[in-house]
A and B are shown apart, each in its own frame.
Chain A
């Protein structure tokens, strides 16, 4: 996971899913290695726990380590977070495995207690438990302060969704794609990782920051960040004053002394363009545009919310773009 390789597009929401799937695939292979090369030292009664615990702990490890890489945590911090998350995930996996075994023994027919039966009917409880264990593992390693309360529900529901989805795909692949559990095993690990990562996590917005970059004009390529810190809004001004403004344009390019400003509200992660001149100022994006020249009859300047890669026309000759890039970008 490298923040420089993750642009601020819709695709960033898939990154943790893909990353967790990758971790799941590696875990599947190592698990297969253990099973097939004679290192299966536990009894059949532990198969469910080993499988589910490995799935949950792998996904927790992948997600914590992935975030650690994005945020450049120290090795010490990432190690104890991983140990805590994985430990909790394994513990809850163990608890959930035996709880499901008890439920199966009490409420399902005798076959439900047999460790070797391949049937989603007798296994879905294990998979739900795996999702719950992974969610709890992540929650213990997360920072709770300043998080909306819904993030707990998000993790738990995401975990359950991941467990059920992986179970469904595992079962379908074992019956319709190959009549065996070789490919289905890989599908189980990969799909659990992908759905868990997809449904519970995304790249945090605070790792990105808005930039204004000159597209057209004498100062092509020049760019400035609109990087609010300490949760306070920040406003950047653009105009023709050679001094005192955040982004300066030569007056020959018909940019007004105080042409526009962009405000960043970090709590809502919103960037707003304000028109401060009566001269040409237009925001353009695909199938959409907005003129926000200052209207002298209005008591306040006109505003428009900016999205990544919006283009701004200033005067007749200057164009800038609004870009959201990793905060570390320089």
Chain B
């Protein structure tokens, strides 16, 4: 009767949850994807079947490792949660580059701050893939690129050239993988229409041609910095040319890379405020382009060379179509000229407009980088051509006491595209599973039942010992008191017992 009641009541209102392997917790069988805020589907892999699917083409050893990394994991002692996630577009896998620092995690709607002491977030990419890319490099060729910054013997353009010619950058643009076919187009821009490097459009398909072109023709010219126009041109003109369209076969990702050292500056009297409507207009165009986000939708990366105007700027906080003076000018004087005449100091002499760059990259599903030297620029270029990963392991830690009831974990992609999902985790109120040792970076690893088996066997050993301890002590005591041996008997009478 009890069993029947148990079964009946157990089946009533069963929420759609699944147990997390090797833990005592449960998790929603299907994570909730915020459709309204997502261009990509951020799929949190809660079901072991998901993990079997993504690891089935790996070899046996790797598959087991990948499978374990993919499964959700909860360690309440360390206050750590791990989730495997992948991104999908139109039900197809969508690979993304390394997302460390690009995914924010929230716990019960409060963001987990990545401060490395109490709380921390770590994202590890899995199943690296190279994808074919068409890079359109739009490099600022304005007069300011001839500037030698203090403490440097090289002009800004020299630094850009050095970065583009770095072996690692060349390898990133033209990898040795025969399955990956990349192409590079290089433009420079000042005033007016951006010009192909070398005077005519050349589609570069190998390192030698690329190296030759950069070495021979990358020079700063004169004129203003028509940054916004250059982005618009790259997006709506260059990518629409027949030469480019012939290279886009549906599998090749067009990637716009814009490099500048200053502000958008179209006229001598331009101030920071002048750029507000222009940027608004550009972001509108980018948004229109990105509305139908697809595999062949271009990505826009921006690279700045210099000191950022606003170090704490967060493009996510700027609502669509609502760029304001305060944000774009970062609290600086609105009337200050960008390019001040004579010995006067303008915006461009001190800062780089990282606000515009961040907004353009954010709306263009890419990333913004602001660097000061050739090495930093090189790393940024490598990032642009980075390896893409098929799925990611998202780990975070927070105060362990926050996991003492059910909790909601929200994940949000901060760059490349909008993707928001959340999942509920339901820990057991009475018990926890074993946890494994820490990995080299101090994150807890999956525990196995063998750990608890070792506790069981040692515990049983102790308890069995205690069960027999009474008899042992009793006999030892009698032995010590001489009650067991006749030899201790001083009488010495040797008659036998009847």
Task: Spell out A's residues near B (CB within 8 Å).
Answer: 1, 4-7, 9, 11-12, 14-15, 18-19, 21-22, 25-26, 28-29, 31-33, 35-38, 40-48, 51, 87, 90-91, 94, 111, 114-119, 123, 170, 178-182, 184-186, 188, 190, 215-222, 250, 309, 317, 321
List the 4 closest A-B pairs by CB distance, nearest first.
Answer: A11-B470, A180-B77, A185-B431, A7-B474
Interface residues of B in 470-498 (CB under 8 A from A): 470-471, 473-475, 478, 483, 486, 489-491, 493, 495, 497-498
Could you tell me if B2 and A94 are in contact, using CB atoms closer than 8 angstroms?
A: yes
Could you tell me if B10 and A46 are in contact, using CB atoms closer than 8 angstroms?
A: yes
Closest chain A residue, CB of each to CB of B5: A94
Could you tell me if A118 and B452 are in contact, using CB atoms closer than 8 angstroms?
A: no
> Chain B residues near A119 (CB, 8 Å)?
404
Could you tell me if A44 and B26 are in contact, using CB atoms closer than 8 angstroms?
A: yes
> Chain A residues near B21 (CB, 8 Å)?
36-38
B455 within 8 A of A: yes
Could you tell me if A181 and B428 are in contact, using CB atoms closer than 8 angstroms?
A: yes
Name the distance in Å between A330's Cβ and chain B's nearest Cβ. 14
Task: Spell out B's residues near A (CB within 8 Å).
Answer: 2, 5-6, 9-10, 13-15, 17, 19, 21-24, 26, 75-77, 79, 400-401, 404-406, 426-435, 449, 452-453, 455-456, 459-460, 463-464, 466-471, 473-475, 478, 483, 486, 489-491, 493, 495, 497-498
> Chain B residues near A190 (CB, 8 Å)?
459
> Chain A residues near B435 (CB, 8 Å)?
180, 182
Name the distance in Å between B467's Cβ and chain A's nearest Cβ. 5
Could you tell me if A18 and B463 are in contact, using CB atoms closer than 8 angstroms?
A: yes
Choose among A117, A180, A219 the residue that contacts B76 (Cβ–Cβ < 8 A).
A180
Could you tell me if B77 and A22 are in contact, using CB atoms closer than 8 angstroms?
A: no
In the bound assembly, the distance between CA atoms of A185 and B434 in angstroms comes to: 11
Name the distance in Å between B82's Cβ and chain A's nearest Cβ. 16
Could you tell me if B6 and A217 are in contact, using CB atoms closer than 8 angstroms?
A: no
Choose among A35, A220, A221 the residue that contacts B24 (Cβ–Cβ < 8 A).
A35
> Chain B residues near A42 (CB, 8 Å)?
6, 10
When A7-B474, A9-B470 are in contact, do A51 and B431 touch as well, CB less than 8 Å?
A: yes
Could you tell me if B2 and A117 are in contact, using CB atoms closer than 8 angstroms?
A: no
Could you tell me if B497 and A222 are in contact, using CB atoms closer than 8 angstroms?
A: yes
Could you tell me if A5 and B468 are in contact, using CB atoms closer than 8 angstroms?
A: yes
> Chain B residues near A117 (CB, 8 Å)?
404-405, 429
In the bound assembly, the distance between CA atoms of A279 and B2 in angstroms comes to: 71
Closest chain B residue, CB of each to CB of A123: B429
Residue of A18, A123, A221 most packed against chain B (CB within 10 A) = A18
In the bound assembly, the distance between CA atoms of A318 and B474 in angstroms comes to: 23
Q: List 11 A-B contacts (CB under 8 A).
A: A5-B467, A9-B470, A9-B473, A32-B449, A36-B434, A38-B21, A43-B10, A115-B426, A179-B79, A180-B435, A182-B77
Closest chain B residue, CB of each to CB of A5: B471
Closest chain A residue, CB of each to CB of B14: A43
Name the distance in Å between A110's Cβ and chain B's nearest Cβ. 11
In the bound assembly, the distance between CA atoms of A219 and B497 in angstroms comes to: 5
> Chain A residues near B459 (CB, 8 Å)?
25, 186, 190
In the bound assembly, the distance between CA atoms of A91 and B3 in angstroms comes to: 10
Could you tell me if A317 and B431 are in contact, using CB atoms closer than 8 angstroms?
A: no
In the bound assembly, the distance between CA atoms of A278 and B102 in angstroms comes to: 101
Could you tell me if A179 and B467 are in contact, using CB atoms closer than 8 angstroms?
A: no
Could you tell me if A36 and B22 are in contact, using CB atoms closer than 8 angstroms?
A: yes
> Chain A residues near B493 (CB, 8 Å)?
217-218, 220
> Chain B residues near A114 (CB, 8 Å)?
405-406
Closest chain B residue, CB of each to CB of A46: B10
Closest chain B residue, CB of each to CB of A20: B463
In the bound assembly, the distance between CA atoms of A320 and B316 in angstroms comes to: 94
Q: Known contacts A22-B460, A116-B429; can you find 8 more A-B pairs with CB under 8 A?
A: A5-B467, A11-B474, A15-B467, A51-B430, A94-B2, A114-B406, A179-B400, A220-B493
Could you tell me if A118 and B429 are in contact, using CB atoms closer than 8 angstroms?
A: yes
Name the distance in Å between A86's Cβ and chain B's nearest Cβ. 11
When A6-B471, A36-B24 are in contact, do A220 and B483 touch as well, CB less than 8 Å?
A: no
> Chain A residues near B466 (CB, 8 Å)?
14, 18
Name the distance in Å between A130's Cβ and chain B's nearest Cβ. 11
Could you tell me if A36 and B405 are in contact, using CB atoms closer than 8 angstroms?
A: no
When A5-B467, A116-B426, A221-B497 are in contact, do A46 and B6 touch as well, CB less than 8 Å?
A: yes
